[in-house]
Structure 1
Amino acid sequence: MLSPGSGLPANYSGLTGLRLLGLASMDLEAGPLPSSGLPDAWSALINLQRLDASNNRYLGGIIPQSWSNFSSIVSIDVSNTGVCGSIPRGLKNKTTPSVLPPTCELVNCRRYLVETLKPMMDSQLQPGSACNLTSLWPSSERLETWFNITAMLTTYGATPVQDVISFVLNDCYANNGNSFNVVLPSGLTCFSSLTELSFNVNNAAGTLPDEFTTLTQLQELWLTDNILTGSMKASYSALTALTILKLHNNQFTNTLPPEWRALNQLAEISISDNYNLNGTLPSAWGSLTSLTSFWAWGVGVGGQLPSSFSDLTLLSELTFMSDTMSGSLPSEWSTLTGLTLLNLASTRATSTMTGTIPNAWFGPFGATPYMSSLQTLTISGTSVSGGLPPDLSQVTCLTAIDFSVNKLTGGPNPSGFPFQYITLTELNTLNLADNPYLGGTVPDPWAASMVNLTSLDLSNTGVCAPFPSGLNGKLTPSTFVNSYCDDLPAAYNLVTNFKPLFDSGASGSGCDLSSWDPATPLCNNTWSGTGCDISPPDSSGVSFAHLTSLQLLNCITGGAAARPLPRSVTQLGGYLSSLIIRNSRLTGTLPQDIGFFMTPLTKLDFSSNLLTGELPAFWSGLFLLQELDVSGNRFINGSIPIEWGFGLNSLYVLNMGGMDQLTGPLPDSLYYLANLNDLTIESNSMTGTLPASWQSMYSLTSLVIGAGGNASPGPSINGNFPQSWFTSGSLQGLWNLRIANTKMTGPLPDPGGYQAANLGLTSLDLSSNLLSGTLPDSYQGFSLLQRIVLTDNAQLTGSIPTSYSIL
């Protein structure tokens, strides 16, 4: 018995007495390949009179010439079958139909399309769908006439076949929210000559079929806008004839296969809108040297952009949008001279790229190669920094530039907006928004040269007045032109290097720096702890603001972690006059460079921190410094630099209290500090004697030396108290003198009655020393004295003079 789907068995040839053979409507399938569905061996049926194989739509192939041996044949009915080709001469008047299609169709493919694919698609038919295959694929017509199926005549042996080379079935999904049960048509591999396969917008699920890898003549594969999952399979590297591969808007996962480097004929690839892809762009894809178009936006792929893409010299369009890009922009891409569109962006501005926009991509002037053909350039949301590349001015065919949402810097003086861009006369849109540290004035010649400009977005930048009147109409409404040019380098430094350490949002910090908002100018008096100076307009009408003071106090909470002093402190600008970071658990050493780069300082306070190392000798360059407080840093060691006495000529307050590890002698050179008013030195490790030369510090009003309180063992300062401090008459303004807890010996200083009357002492503390002798009568002359402490000097003798009663 024959069953549906079977062919005509050749062994029937042994039934030589057979006269009638009825096989109509049995759903037989055979041919046209690899051999005809009509067996040549049946030529032995010499007594056959009637053969009815009608209504077997999938029975195909040509009638063998050998069937002319049917000497008794009266009729052969192959109507409504796939039988094709020429009818043998002896059978022409006995065959129905009398004329067969000149070429054969692939009946096995027809069965797949009619019985598998069409029901799958039509069962999901939705209002608004572009697909109704019952009408588009009429059963009465041959498949090469069906909608969006293109066939090509080919010959397999002696069999002429219409082999399908293009299969397009798109937009069968009506997007009405219903779930489809559609998979990719893996059965299409029966079309071995297929060069184009398009199955877009069909809501197809599942993975990429392994069967597709046998379509080795495939040149275009379009599977966009479905819900495909799984990996982009490495095995598809077998499709080496591919020139177009479109897989965007699916749900592919895992990494991109480096094996696809074998697709060396590929001209266009799109993998966009596959958010679950991960990993990096394969460096091996630099071998796809036929690529002209690369699209990958909305993907989870990130990491460093491969420098190997510099070999893709035929690229005209390159789009890569990812929220996980990192590393730097490869300068090697300057070889992409054919690019007309370059789009590198992060939709959520979460990329962590570093470095700058390579100037090498655009020059320098006269250099080759470079991206000379660019018309659209987007580098947005990537966190690249640095200035606008000046040599971009050479790419004169640019019509659109978008550098928004980055960390570009520049300005205000000289301006961050390059004068050279006057050559970009074709520019239609320029978007530099959300680069708060890019600013300055826009050059007036931009207005005259950028005649095609329709949109200029400088919102949330540091653009400042005066602004070219010719560009006012092009400026986006969100752009605010500040009346003065803000101190952008200082603002960038504070937000980038200081705020993360000291803001109350940081772990263990106690300072509320929420007002440090890049969207608000630093010098508008809202940034807490800062002060600025704004200069009058210069000859061109420009006013510049400068950070002049920074104060961070008590930026700690209970159990706060220590934090390093930012090295960028020396880059806060050349106008800073007051820097105070007190009681904030700073660690690290004091920067020597402060003495070179912060010479306008008049007040410097790093007190009550956890700083280490030595006091910088190069701070002697701070010739304008009036107040210096490094007290309470008990881990700072070394000696007091003698250079300070020769350079800090403006100093009137020097506080080194509570610095237990300072060593060495008290430097004589401090007597050169003629303006010094208040001097405090407290350490357990100082040595030497009290310098007699300090009698010349005639501006002193307060002098404190020792270990503080009754600390033990105290510094090893020894020798006698210099009598000249009191007898010279130079220290008449001294009202507070405390030299306590040292190893100083000898008698108490005796100014004599005359000098005592001229001294303004109100407080005298010489406690916890090794002084000896008696109390001088002359102390009765200290007419302003309110407090005298001489305790813990065991070798002092005698009684308190009665004359002290007048004190």
Structure 2
Amino acid sequence: MITTQGLCNLVKLEELDLSSNGITGELPTCWQNMTSLRVLFLEDNGFTDNVASSPLTSLTSLEFLSISGNYFDIPSSLSPLANYSRLKVLLLDDNKLTIDPKTIDLSSNDFPGPFPAWLLENNTKLENLLMANNLFVTLEVPLMTPRNLLVMDMSNNDVRGELTTEFCINVTNLNHLNLSANRLEGNIPSELGTIKSLSVLDLSHNHFSGELPIQLLDSNSSLRKLNVAYNNLQGEIVFSGNTMNQNLLYLQLEHNMFNGDLSFLSSLVDSWLLDVSNNIFIGKLPRSIANMSSLRLLDLSKNQLNGLIPQGLFNLPQLEYLALSENNFSGSLASSFIAPELRHIHLNGNKLNGSIVHLLPNGSNLVTLDLSENEFFGSIPYWLGNLSQLNILLLRGNSFYGTFPKQLCILKSLSMIDLSKNNLFGRLPICLGPMNFSSRGYADKVDSTSVPHIVGFTTKRRFDAYKGYTLLNMIGLDFSYNHFSGEIPPEIVISQDMLMLNLSHNKLTGHIPMSLSNLTKIESIDLSYNNLIGSIPEELTQLISLEVFNVSYNNSSGAIPNKNQFGSFIESSYYGNHLLCGLPLSNDSKKSCTKAKEDGFIDGETFYISFGVSYTMVLLVIPVVLFINPQWQQGWFHYVELVITTCRSLFITCYYFVQDGFRKLSSGPTI
């Protein structure tokens, strides 16, 4: 054993090499104070410590650690070394690896190289092999793979090549197989369907091609969850014998190239989740879809489906998420939404029409309503005010008309509202002020399913898709391309957390409200194509997060602010304002503010103030001067008397001249 205490006093030591010295026993506990140690060589000795309780766990500054060729007791999870955030090299070979007889968890360690098949050969009782989030590049399991192996997770590695038939034969008792987020290619082997115990299969986010093996959809299969999303699969989906599959509850086929119709949905009447979005499916929805009483999530978006939407689809008792966006569905919607659990409705990008005034949904739980880019008309319905949980309202690109729907002011949980590209008119109401545009209410409403909630919204001059935490933090208001008039109310500042405000392409008048300077997190303000007047408030330069600012084609005047973010805005942000001056306007489009002043340019307000001051000064100066100098006073009175006498003489002369002329005209011509 090491008995010297000399090393214990070297608390600032950075490198220590004790390799090949035949040292035995445990590490001194005082080593835990050597927190500055960066390099430690202990290989080829006889240390017998348990790593989990040794001083090694305290040496978090280590960048290089070699304990090879000892008798250290090392758990397979390597959890005692989890705090080594700076570690670049770790050598553990020729030690005692302590392994749970049922579970090996080596996840999230960035282990490179081929799959360690020896772990399966040497552990006959192994049930769970968890090796996600590493850098393994191959996947070859030995013939003697433990028959007890139930769970295998190799997701998010760098595994390449094809999934072989031999692999499927050697894992005959698997219950859960996750190979997602790798680089696997080729066809999905049909032998996977022969693993009768397989309940969960996730092959998503790979490069598989070809058709989906019919064996995986067999009615005798035990599969409950099948995820092959984000691959290059194609062909039609066919169920063996066209029989009903009561086991398959989760089916995810999104982001592939599957085609054909959706008749196979008739075999999945007990499913909970169906996502076939981003494929090439055609035709109408089967009527049987309205009988899927257990369905919680249905996503058929971004296909080529057409026809009417079955009325019963909105009445499913368990349905929480419905996405039929970007298809060719037409006709009007059902007369009512009565699904009690429905929280997200995405019907955007279709050819739906008619009025929605009488839908009257029982939607107290509704969080998202996206009806944008359709052909709906009529007024925006009053029942929106009953949706107390509504966070996202998107009605963009329809033919809604009327004044601003005041029922929206009742909603206190809104975070995104898009009424752009409609026929709304009238003034923007001040009732927006009390609205609590906040994402806090939405945080509890995020779907528990694995399908991401995605919403499209225009900001920073482009249309983007928002999802996940980005969506949670998105707070915006878009009233562009309507006919709103009057001044912009200061109450438009509905939340200091707002990121986007778009009031462009309306008929708004008046000044830009200084209250916009309270939007401390705003990233985009678009007020273009209105009739706004006056200067751009200098206070807006305080908005350090502002990336896009556009007031083009208004009647703004004065100097353009150039502090902070305003120094980076391009010339097109100010086009069409003939009374604006200063950078970034070019010499050809607008003279500088200095040149404008030299040319005698002065605004009306300055003129009236200057004239009033000058006139008042003249009236005050004349009496003061006359009072001080008697000679000037005498001269002044003489001048006034002369003017009065002259005017009187002129008046009398004019009077008699007019009277004489009038007499001659009255007496007629002389014969």
TM (norm. structure 1) is: 0.40
Comparing both structures, which one devotes a greater share of its residues to helix?
2
When Rg is computed on C-alpha atoms for both structures, the one with the higher figure is 1
